Amino acid sequence: MICELAAFERMADQVLVRAVDLEKFLFCVPPRIWALMAWKGGKTTGYAMVSEHFSSFAGRFGLYLEDVYVRKGHRNTGVGRALLGQVGRLAAALGHDRLDFQVLDWNVQARAFYERIGARSLEGWVPYRLSGEALAAMADDVNEGGQR
């Protein structure tokens, strides 16, 4: 389903993960990621994947929602709400009171769904990512003393 989500988000060429990678992070102790699955009639209808993150301001951990995906034909049936309910239960079980995530700006249905359940966009924040060659170059540019 990760590949289905990537295709939906117009990013199919960016999927590099393998099942063995997921298994390594899902089944280690403690888990590094959690995958919550939705089923109907013995078939998967959706999933949510989360990991922990730390807020230096709050001094607490929270969950980061990397993915939530509901298969076509099962959307608008309560599957997404049920998945997020399970994410909320996981957060509570871990002692977390915060769930952060991003939504593609063009995905108006997802944005409307999140707003209906009480999520608010973080005005003033612009997501950035440093990865691949740029991240490696930064690591190479800094010497052991932390100076350029």
Query: Could you list the active site residues?
Result: 114
Helix (H) or strand (E) holding 51: strand 43-55
Q: Which helix (H) or strand (E) is 55 found in, with range?
A: strand 43-55
Whether 98 contacts 57, CB under 8 Å: no
In DSSP terms, which residues pair with 69 in a beta bridge? 47
How far, CA to CA in Å, does 66 sit from each of 13, 35, 48? 18, 10, 8
User: What's the burial of 99, exposed, middle or buried (CB within 10 Å: 0-12/13-18/19+)?
Assistant: middle
The answer to whether the Cα torsion of 120, 121, 122, 123 is positive or negative is negative
